Amino acid sequence: MDLVQIDVLYNRDDIKNKVQMLGKKISEDYAGCELLVVGILKGAFIFMADLVREITVPLEIDFMDVTSYGLSTSSSGEVRIIKDLEYSVQDKDVLIIEDIVDTGLTLKHITEILKTRNPKSIKICCLLDKPSRRKANITADYVGYSIPDRFVVGYGLDYAEQYRNYPEVCIIKPFKAADPQ
């Protein structure tokens, strides 16, 4: 039987404070602008919901659903778009919201697609950044936390569609239970 151990990395208060700080900085940087906030489903939806409530400039919201993980704990490198944007990004300031930047392959693919649609600007905001795993030349403009190479769940992040509802960001450690004798 497969079991997991879960250790809290960032608790609710840590996350709340970080999201408020990011919202304030984004609001300052986009003062006088109208922003199109693009959430990357499914993982970013909780972070994005909290973040947009902290942003004080006018904004629109849209979503893309892409995948490169499937049921694995590591990116396959193959990015599939499941749901594209409903709104045009042409001549708009676009802020992509991502739960975690890992290899960067997914975000590189998304930003390349969006650049062909002629936005005014594209920036990236992520709650978590894992630079040690980077395979693509991509850097987030707004980063909540830089984390070590550990698999994390909670606050929207999942493992095989589980654990998204945990209110903290947690490190997950799979292990095998001892065989009963």
Spatial contact of 63 and 41, defined as CB atoms under 8 Å apart: yes
Selected catalytic residue, list 102, 141, 149, 179: 102
Asked if the peptide bond before residue 42 counts as cis, ω within 30 degrees of 0, the response is yes
Spatial contact of 148 and 167, defined as CB atoms under 8 Å apart: no
99 is catalytic: no
Rg for the chain, CA atoms, rounded = 17
41-46, long-range: CB < 8 A, 24+ apart? 41/65, 41/66, 41/82, 41/83, 42/156, 42/158, 42/164, 43/98, 43/99, 43/100, 43/156, 43/157, 43/158, 43/164, 44/97, 44/98, 44/99, 44/127, 44/156, 45/156, 46/155, 46/156, 46/164
List residues with catalytic annotation: 102
